[in-house]
Amino acid sequence: MSKDQETRTATPPPGPLDGFRADRVYLGADHGRNERRVWLAAGICALTLTAQLAGGLAFNSMALVAGGIHMAAHVAALSVAGLAYLLARRYAADRRFSFGAGKVGYLAAFANAVALGITALLLAGESLTHFSGGAETHFHEASQLAVAVLAVNLLCMWLLRPARVAHDRQDDDDVNLRGAHLHLAADVVVSILSIAGLLAGGRLGWTWADPLAGLLGALLVGRFAWTLGTSAGAVLLDMTPSPRLTGEVRGRLEALGVRLIDLHLWRLGPGHHAAIAVVDDPEGRPAQTFRAQLADLTGLSHLTVEVRHTPREESGESPGPALTHQSASV
């Protein structure tokens, strides 16, 4: 049996149009669980916000007021994240979305990053105005409330921990949940700074320590906003999401003896990626052959393959440009 006959014999039968993900629902594996926990954390933060702002105004603590404003950002961010989970689930199978609604969470994360950046600027401005002094701060009472807020933040962080540890964040990353979790982690640090500033002001007389804690908290929120915005923006702009997955796709296709002309990968949702590959195959094998080569690749949920057939040169004559084109979306 010739090599060409062996190739034709080994060619897999045609599969469905989208054999990788028949339902075309590109939601994270823990979508439902994450949605419930985000709403629960939002409710807890809303109650804490009320106590934190009231205490900050009653005890004249800028650190607590800053923490309260940041907690308001928590409530807004968690609410937006919860709505993103809800809308992504509701429109997951809506055919108006060419590649599903898995990116709704990334859009929400980017919006939250912008809101966090604005919050950081407001916190920094308010903290700077309190360096000049003013009304007396009730350090002892404010410290007690700050400790309570820290406990609430730790509880919410525990609620929003990922259900599983991703071995590679670039491959499986729910930015919606990660943003909410890191948002609360930043507030834990702000709470610790608040407590330190209040203790320093109450016991050492360092009245500047309280507004300094608010200023440091604002810088931390700004840093978090930048990190979250760049992560979500990269997905929304379809930047290559995973060098590891890209290398694996390239390696498997080139292992079949073809020339890879073009390759594009982008993210469809948490744990889901799409790819478009254009290969030049001298043997003219069908696109299903290359589909089968990538079928068991974790994280690849949608694949489009175009095969260009340029026959090998025979008798010293050049065949010219590609003679045959085949494509399949799977």
Q: Which residues contact 34 (CB under 8 A, 6 or more apart)?
A: 28, 85, 160, 163, 174, 176, 177
Asked which of 3-12, 47-56, 67-76, 197-206 is least confident by mean pLDDT, the reply is 3-12
| Cα–Cα distance measured from residue 69 to residue 187, given in angstroms and rounded to the nearest whole number | 11
Average pLDDT over residues 89-108: 87
**Which residues are 273's β-sheet partners?**
267, 300
Q: How confident is the model at residue 204 (pLDDT cuts 50, 70, 90)?
A: low
CA 66 to chain centre: 27
Q: For 281-306, write each residue's pLDDT tens digit.
A: 888 888 888 888 888 888 888 888 89
Asked which of 136-140, 213-217, 252-256, 290-294 is least confident by mean pLDDT, the reply is 136-140
CB atoms within 10 A of CB 82: 23
The owner of tokens 């594996």 is: 29
CB atoms within 10 A of CB 274: 23
114: nearest Cα among 233, 208, 13, 16: 233
Q: Which residues contact 270 (CB under 8 A, 6 or more apart)?
A: 27, 28, 29, 31, 102, 105, 172, 173, 174, 175, 176
pLDDT over 80 at 141, yes or no: no
Which CATH code for domain 31-236?
A: 1.20.1510.10
3-state secondary structure of 45: helix
Asked which of 111-120, 190-199, 258-267, 273-282 is least confident by mean pLDDT, the reply is 190-199
Residue type at 313 in one-letter notation = E
Which CATH code for domain 240-329?
A: 3.30.70
Q: For 82-93, write each residue's pLDDT tens digit.
A: 999 999 998 888
Predicted structure pTM score: 0.71
Q: How confident is the model at residue 318 (pLDDT cuts 50, 70, 90)?
A: very low
Domain limits, the chain? 31-236, 240-329
| Cα–Cα distance measured from residue 27 to residue 92, given in angstroms and rounded to the nearest whole number | 7
